[in-house]
């Protein structure tokens, strides 16, 4: 990457960040050079800025967790339109905590639990919970394995869904900086989503809705896998891609 390849709107954001870091000190230009160098080395702008707006909250982001994507904000919108008076949410693979925290903000009367297999991501999620003053119970867990409760009425998951062989095709900005545990979905990309569905069935969690963010190529396989559930459908994102599963059990 060279400076000509960085669009002006990104340079403007780097200047803003340098001003924020420099504060009242007069060494703004050395901070700007440092931030620009990081960007030239391919580091995502959001990690350099250290926070990102997500729906109507702001979350801190760093290499401990995936940078929340606009598609995931749209998942929140889908949940909001489909759930009327939720009591108990569970967010699987919470990362920065963005989904869990935003659900708590939208539904303050509900209880929200969230899990991740990554201790580092959970540390960041707890920080984001404190910054936003939103109470979520965070647990370290491989999917549902450490979760004893079964009375959730809404389970949400944005789990890794990129097939392992396709990881090398990802932008270096993603694969060199964001955590592999947040991206690698196993051989067919469905390893964790399939295991989660198996666990929900084995634990006999019922009277609930499931919301999944998925790869656009996985809709048909998941509709087939969920054929014994009810009201199963694929929802599209704003670009008309099949990016979400909504199902009831």
Ligand X SMILES: C[S@@+](CC[C@H](N)C(=O)[O-])C[C@H]1O[C@@H](n2cnc3c(N)ncnc32)[C@H](O)[C@@H]1O
DSSP string of 62-129, one letter each residue? -TTSPPP-HHHHHHHHHHHHH-SS--EEEEES-TTSHHHHHHHHH-TTSEEEEEES-HHHHHHHHHHH
Q: Nearest approach, Cβ of 15 to ligand X (angstroms)?
A: 27
* Structural element, H or E, at residue 247: strand 242-248
Cα-Cα end-to-end distance for the chain = 49
Is 115 one of the binding residues for ligand X (CB under 6 A)?
yes
| Tokens of residue 228, six digits | 């014994």
Is 72 one of the binding residues for ligand X (CB under 6 A)?
yes
Is 234 one of the binding residues for ligand X (CB under 6 A)?
no
Q: Nearest approach, Cβ of 162 to ligand X (angstroms)?
A: 9
Is 121 one of the binding residues for ligand X (CB under 6 A)?
yes
Name the residue nearer to ligand X (CB basis): 35 or 61: 61
Using CB under 6 A, which of the segments 3-11, 105-113, 153-161, 220-228 binds ligand X? 153-161
Query: Which of 74, 192, 229, 244 touches ligand X by CB under 6 A?
Result: 192
Pairing state of beta strands 137-140 and 111-116?
parallel
Query: What is the binding site for ligand X (CB under 6 A)?
Result: 65-66, 68, 72, 92-96, 98-99, 115-118, 121, 142-143, 158-160, 181-182, 192
């Amino acid at each position: 990457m060279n400076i000509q390849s960085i669009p002006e709107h990104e340079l403007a954001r780097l200047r803003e960040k340098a001003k924020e870091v420099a504060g009242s000190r007069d060494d703004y230009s050395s901070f700007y050079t440092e931030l620009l160098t990081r960007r030239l080395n391919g580091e995502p702008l959001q990690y350099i800025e250290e926070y990102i707006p997500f729906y109507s909250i702001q979350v801190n982001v760093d290499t401990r967790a995936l940078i929340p994507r606009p598609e995931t904000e749209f998942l929140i919108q889908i949940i909001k339109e489909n759930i009327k008076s939720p009591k108990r949410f569970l967010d699987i693979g919470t990362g920065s905590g963005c989904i869990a925290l935003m659900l708590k903000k939208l539904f303050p009367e509900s209880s929200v639990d969230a899990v991740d297999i990554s201790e580092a991501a959970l540390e960041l999620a707890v920080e984001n919970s404190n910054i936003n003053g939103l109470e979520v119970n965070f647990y370290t867990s491989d999917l549902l394995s450490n979760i004893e409760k079964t009375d959730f009425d809404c389970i949400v998951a944005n789990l890794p869904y990129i097939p392992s062989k396709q990881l090398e095709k990802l932008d270096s900005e993603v694969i060199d900086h964001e955590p592999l545990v947040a991206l690698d979905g196993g051989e067919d990309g469905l390893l964790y989503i399939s295991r989660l569905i198996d666990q929900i069935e084995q634990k006999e969690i019922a009277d609930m809705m499931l919301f999944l963010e998925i790869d656009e190529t996985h809709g048909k396989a998941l509709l087939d896998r969920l054929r014994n559930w009810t009201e199963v459908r694929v929802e599209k994102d704003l670009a008309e891609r099949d990016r979400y599963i909504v199902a009831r059990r």
